[in-house]
Amino acid sequence: MIELLKIQKTADVGEFSQKSPSGVVATSLTDRSGYARDVAPSHPAFLAKAGAILFLSKAFKLGRTILTSILLVWLAGCQTGPQAIELPPPSPAPPLPTVTIQDQIQIATPGPIVEIDPPPAPIPTNLIVSLPMVSTQAVMNAASNGLPVLAVDPMAWPSNWVNTWLSLDAWGQYNRLGKPSLVNGAPSPMYQFQTTNGTILLKMGSRIARCNGLECWLGYAPQMIKGVPYIYALDALKSFQALLNARSLRPGNARIVVIDPGHGGKDSGSRNSFSTRWEKEYTLDWALRLRTLLVEKGWKVVMTRTNDVDVPLPERVQAAERAKADLFISLHFNSGLPNKELAGIETYCLTPAGLPSNLVRTYDDDPKALFPNNAFDEQNYQVAYKLHRSLMETSGALDRGLRRARFMSVLRGQNRPAVLIEGGYLSNPNEAKKIAAAAYRQHLAEGVAQGLD
């Protein structure tokens, strides 16, 4: 993620004029220590001295600004890692005299991770407690056509199952899953469905559901209403229905994938707490390893960058458009500074319209917003789930969940399924060391590649 940090130029070296009460103008030059040196303004010696000091002070100011920038970057957490890694060599630093110091530079540190509370859930005025006839018919049609019972036509989702709450009984009945089993009682009851695609575990009052053990974040926490467990209808449709309908990701020969190594060039991303490496280097290395694996599996792979260049986010979307890609995967590493405890992998896709996001950072998250990529809500979730599950298996990393967000503009405009993976926290000492190892990044690449099988 990108955040702008404004460097305030200070003026502790320079000149100023001051008018005394008697009206005499005195000119002062200040040195670095801030001591003023008063001199007569018209004296030739002063002019020569002032010119020299002015020149020196401006030269010093430029040098100091450069050093400040270098120091800021260094302070972002650089330490030399204990382990040699195989990465592309960093670009040579430009010669100092030609460096242009900008007022704003892009630097690594994203805002602190804050788990947001969603806006208040809609008032359950229209509780759905049982299955409507139209859906029963759809299920019967599916069964009579020889389709698996669970593969209910998504179009048959009842039209009145939108801005409302569904009893778990009703949703289970719709999917021929029967009633959920109570696995944990008050005060936070947990209910579980056993499906042909695995288990779904819902904890009342928690937005974190468990799908085959994986964290799957919901828009709204399921809740007990009058002693009956309910789930928000849109969560049921956009998450669980999507998982039940999950199909192969490999339709025919249309397998063009865009791999997007996050950051690059002057946008370095987050810094590894325990090495001199940046997120942009790790994402590129991960992407190159993934490309090799996917090409072996027959995918056509398009990269948004193959070296250390800054590619604007709209161009990354355009690259997928030009390639007529079937899938877009953006690779990142995370930072939770100042929190160094956060660890694990998060997999993101775009939040469906009507639901609050699970992470907003500074973005003004509008649940009503509808983006081009929302046309792929179901497939986004299916891809994200498969990649996340596979990554958990190959990396052994902590599960930080399958989540949804709107602030990632590299996803919003995509006309194809698109996901963004945060492959671990560079701000966590243990995870940073793991990510610094080439073998671990190979596991991350294998996780993504196997998730697309």
d(CA 309, CA 280): 9
Report the relative pairing of strands 327-334 and 256-261 from DSSP bridges. parallel
Q: 1 or 138, CB closer to Zn ion?
A: 1
Q: Which is nearer to Zn ion, 283 or 380 (CB)?
A: 283
Coil, helix or strand for 39? strand
- Least separation in angstroms between residue 333's CB and Zn ion is 6
What are the contacts of 46-50 at 24+ separation with CB within 8 A?
A: 50/15
Question: Of 270, 227, 417, nearest to 329 (Cα)?
Answer: 417
DSSP-assigned letter for residue 162: S
Name the residue among 378, 327, 349, 352 with its Cα closest to residue 153. Answer: 378
Pick the closer one to Zn ion by CB: 1 or 319: 1
Choice between 237 and 426, CB closer to Zn ion: 426
The 3-state DSSP class for residue 195 equals strand
- CB of 158 or CB of 262, closer to Zn ion: 262
How many Å separate Cα 4 from the centre of its chain?
16
Cβ closer to Zn ion: 262 or 344?
Answer: 262
Number of chain residues interacting with Zn ion (CB under 5 A): 4
User: Least distance to Zn ion from the beta carbon of 128, Å?
Assistant: 40
Asked if 257 contacts 298 with a C-beta cutoff of 8 angstroms, the reply is no
**362: which 2 tokens?**
């500074």
Dihedral of the alpha carbons of 283, 288, 293, 294, in degrees to the nearest 10:
90
DSSP letter assigned to residue 428: S
Nearest distance from C-beta of residue 107 to Zn ion, angstroms: 12
Site string for Zn ion, 243-272 (x = CB under 5 A): -------------------x------x---
- Rounded to a whole number of angstroms, the minimum distance from the CB of residue 331 to Zn ion is 9
Q: Which residues 4-63 are close enough to bind Zn ion by CB under 5 A?
A: none
SS3 at position 1: coil
Site residues (CB under 5 A) for Zn ion, limited to 269-288: 269
Please, which residue, 332 or 403, has the CB nearer to Zn ion? 332
Contacting residues for 220 by C-beta, under 8 A, at least 6 apart? 118, 121, 207, 232, 235, 355, 356
Q: Which is nearer to Zn ion, 189 or 336 (CB)?
A: 336
The footprint of Zn ion on residues 372-401 (CB under 5 A) is none
Which residue of 332, 400, 403, 441 would you call a contact of Zn ion, by CB under 5 A? 332
Q: Please report how close the Cβ of residue 268 comes to Zn ion at its closest, in angstroms.
A: 10
Q: Residue 234 Cβ, how far from Zn ion at the closest point, in Å? A: 29
From the CB of 267, what's the least distance to Zn ion, in Å? Answer: 9
305 interacts with Zn ion by CB under 5 A? no
What's the angle, vertex CA 59, arms to CA 55 and CA 60, rounded to 5? 115
Return d(Cα 380, Cα 109) in angstroms, integer.
Answer: 28
Least distance in Å: CB of 205 to Zn ion?
32
Q: Minimal CB distance to Zn ion: which residue?
A: 332
Interface residue list for Zn ion (CB under 5 A): 1, 262, 269, 332
